[in-house]
Amino acid sequence: MNIIVCVKQVIDPEAPPASFQIDSASNKAEMKGAPPVIDPYGEYAVEAALKIKDANGGKITAITMGIKLLREVVKKPLSMGADELVLLEDESYDGADSHSTAYALAMATKKVADYNLILCGREASDTNAGQTGSGIAEILGLPCVTLARKIDINNGTARVEKVTADGYEVVEVTLPAVITVSNEIGEPRYPTIKGIMAAKKIDPVVWKPSDIGVESNQVGNAGRKTAVNKLFQPVHEGKCEMAEGDSPEEAGANLAMKIREAKIL
Rounded Cα distance between 216 and 218, Å, is 5
| Cα 145 to Cα 63, 124, 127, 138, 149, distances in angstroms | 19, 17, 20, 12, 11
Residue 235: phi, psi to the nearest 5?
Answer: -90, 125
User: Which residue in 161, 154, 98, 85 sits closest to 124, CA to CA?
Assistant: 98
Give the Cα separation of 49 and 53 in Å (integer): 6
Nearer to another protein, 77 or 121 (CB): 121
> Minimum distance between the CB of residue 83 and another protein, rounded to whole angstroms?
27
User: 15 or 202, CB closer to another protein?
Assistant: 15
Tell the smallest beta-carbon distance from residue 54 to another protein (Å): 20
Nearest approach in angstroms of CB 169 to another protein is 5
Residue among 68 and 230 whose Cβ is closer to another protein: 230
Of 41 and 115, CB closest to another protein: 41
Nearest approach in angstroms of CB 154 to another protein is 12
> Least distance from C-beta 174 to another protein, angstroms?
7
Terminal-to-terminal C-alpha distance of the chain: 57
Beta carbon nearer to another protein, 126 or 211? 126
Torsion of CA 105, 142, 169, 165, to 10 degrees: 50
If you compute the radius of gyration of the chain from its CA atoms, what whole number of angstroms results? 22
How near is the Cβ of 15 to another protein at its closest, in Å? 10
181 CB contacts (<8 Å, ≥6 apart)?
41, 44, 45, 47, 48, 119, 120, 121, 122, 147, 148, 151
Q: How many CB atoms lie within 10 A of CB 42?
A: 30
> Quick one: 17 or 33, whose CB is closer to another protein?
17
